[in-house]
Amino acid sequence: MTAEGYRASLRELHPDVWVRGRRVPSVADEPLLAPGVNALALTYEMALRPELADTMLVELPGGGLANRMNALDTSADDLLRKLEACRLLCRATGCAQRYLTHDALGALAEITSLADASLGTEYAGRLAVFAERAAERDLACAVAMTDARGDRSRRPHQQADPDQYLRVVERRPDGAVLRGAKVNITGAPYCHEVIVLPTRAMTAEDGDYAVACVVPIDAPGLRVISRPAGRAGVRAAPFSAQYGQATAMLVFDDVVVPWDRVLLCGEFSLAGRLAEAYANHHRHSCIGCRAALGDIVIGAAVEMAVANGLSVERGHLRGCLAQLISIVEGFYACGIAASVRGRRTAGGCFVPDGVYSNIGKLMLAEQVPVMFRVAQEMAGGVVATVPTPEDVEAGGELVRRYLDGAVVGGAEHRVNVARLMADLTASDEGGWYALISLHGGGSPEALRASAVRQYDVEGRRELARRLACLGGGEGGCSGCGSCG
């Protein structure tokens, strides 16, 4: 699909979208959502650039090409290219969102195959039909995993309000009826379809909450309560007035999902595995995405230092730059390792290594705010104090004279770079990027738990037990069982 084709496809849909208390008549033409629509449109445009074809497109097994973001990975090379594609797309758009479809398809391929093999269901075939449609029609999908969740200390069936987790309230001949809400859903207003996944492990009593399916964004009964995308209409926001993402609450008011779109319904034992499978893919994609944020921030920090007349090749500014590089390339290296150490799963999909994808995501969750601080240290306070566009216009000569920095006549450039840095690190959008780095894809504690669960801790214990007995000690081995 071309960028214009994507906009036209949005005009054919009629979702119930609300922004700032107002119903949106046409998502493609809504100024408050424009940065999000622009970002997705750019992902379509980039996929058609011949020089990016190897990164952005894949050949389908049955012939023809598809966007990499709508395809399964079959090798470590696919994972590496997807990681790189995320980095390139997010450099241009801030948060490209298209990889959500990719991540959900990978997880569903694995778990629907497992369900069919172990429980006799028929989900894998239904998924294959959807995957083919997504590839052929070049769909952009949101992934709705995070439930409202009410009291976090209680399981779904223990909540005072039973709709705090999305659930199946009725199984009718024409489909499953869904009630409840999913929250924090990126890109929902301007997607074509929503892929619904369970957010956590479930018990038998939670059976009605163990649901996965695909829902058109304009399905009757589905309401999208969205924040504006990026910093729509803000003149001082050079990047995020153009590109950014909206997050939305999706309210399911008895939405009927036809059975051929239902991919898990009551198989509670697989809910946690599906959530973890998605997380492994998604955290890997997040690594590419935030490395792109790092690329922009590093570039802006260096540009500011140079505009200030300073060299980044020596002194403490070189130290700062080295720290930024080690942060960004450190977590990106985990993405590369996760690709190379990936494995094939049921359903034929290649998945990134869970330890490396979780640790890489954890590193970025903890270090993106550090990255902002170090870049701001390099750039100076002007990032926060740069005059508004209106003041630059009104007091043009004075502002130009006193914000020149090192280059006479360079004030405009210095102001623009300061605004870019402010936009990404010191505005409400900067806060959004810090928060999506921290919680998007799961809270830091979820990442820690997942990494530890998938790490060979026992192997390390055994190693230590064996080495502890090497010296023999007073009485030799005390019965560790490992040293032979």
Ligand X SMILES: Cc1cc2nc3c(=O)[nH]c(=O)nc-3n(C[C@H](O)[C@H](O)[C@H](O)COP(=O)(O)OP(=O)(O)OC[C@H]3O[C@@H](n4cnc5c(N)ncnc54)[C@H](O)[C@@H]3O)c2cc1C
**Shortest approach of ligand X to residue 290 CB, angstroms?**
12
Geometric angle at alpha carbon 392, from 389 and 398, rounded to 5°: 165
As a whole number of angstroms, the distance between CA 439 and CA 153 comes to 18
Q: With respect to ligand X, which residue has the nearer C-beta, 184 or 323?
A: 184
As a whole number of angstroms, the distance between CA 189 and CA 193 comes to 10
Q: With respect to ligand X, which residue has the nearer C-beta, 90 or 145?
A: 145
Q: With respect to ligand X, which residue has the nearer C-beta, 33 or 399?
A: 33
For 431, residues 6+ apart whose C-beta sits below 8 A from its C-beta are: none
* Angle in degrees, 0-180, between the axes of helices 34-47 and 76-93, rounded to the nearest 10: 140
**Shortest approach of ligand X to residue 341 CB, angstroms?**
24
Strands 193-196 and 175-186: unpaired
**Shortest approach of ligand X to residue 458 CB, angstroms?**
25
Are 72 and 109 contacting, i.e. CB atoms less than 8 angstroms apart?
Answer: yes
Q: With respect to ligand X, which residue has the nearer C-beta, 157 or 439?
A: 439
Say how many residues make up the chain.
484
Beta strands in 227-328 (DSSP E): 247-257, 262-265
**Shortest approach of ligand X to residue 438 CB, angstroms?**
7
Residues interacting with ligand X, by CB under 6 A?
Answer: 143-146, 149, 152-153, 184-186, 247, 432, 435-436, 439-443, 445
Q: With respect to ligand X, which residue has the nearer C-beta, 382 or 447?
A: 447
Q: With respect to ligand X, which residue has the nearer C-beta, 421 or 436?
A: 436
Q: With respect to ligand X, which residue has the nearer C-beta, 65 or 435?
A: 435
Q: With respect to ligand X, which residue has the nearer C-beta, 229 or 298?
A: 229
**Shortest approach of ligand X to residue 353 CB, angstroms?**
21
As a whole number of angstroms, the distance between CA 108 and CA 103 comes to 9
**C-alpha distance from residue 129 to each of 30, 137, 140 (Å):** 32, 12, 16
Q: With respect to ligand X, which residue has the nearer C-beta, 406 or 452?
A: 452
**Shortest approach of ligand X to residue 440 CB, angstroms?**
4
For 32, residues 6+ apart whose C-beta sits below 8 A from its C-beta are: 19, 20, 24, 228, 229, 232, 233
The b-or-e profile of 206-236 (16+ CB within 10 A means b, else e) is bbbbbbbbbbbbbbeebbbbbbbbbbbebeb
**Shortest approach of ligand X to residue 224 CB, angstroms?**
12
**Shortest approach of ligand X to residue 281 CB, angstroms?**
13
- With residue 1 as reference, give the H or E element that holds it: none
Q: With respect to ligand X, which residue has the nearer C-beta, 62 or 153?
A: 153
**Shortest approach of ligand X to residue 278 CB, angstroms?**
9
Which DSSP string do the residues of 425-461 spell out, in sequence order? HSSHHHHHHHHHHHHTTS-HHHHHHHHHHHS-HHHHH
**Shortest approach of ligand X to residue 392 CB, angstroms?**
31
Residue at token pair 């999902």: 257
Nearest of 249, 247, 252 to residue 211 by alpha carbon: 252
Q: Which residue's CB comes closest to ligand X?
A: 145
Are 465 and 480 contacting, i.e. CB atoms less than 8 angstroms apart?
Answer: yes
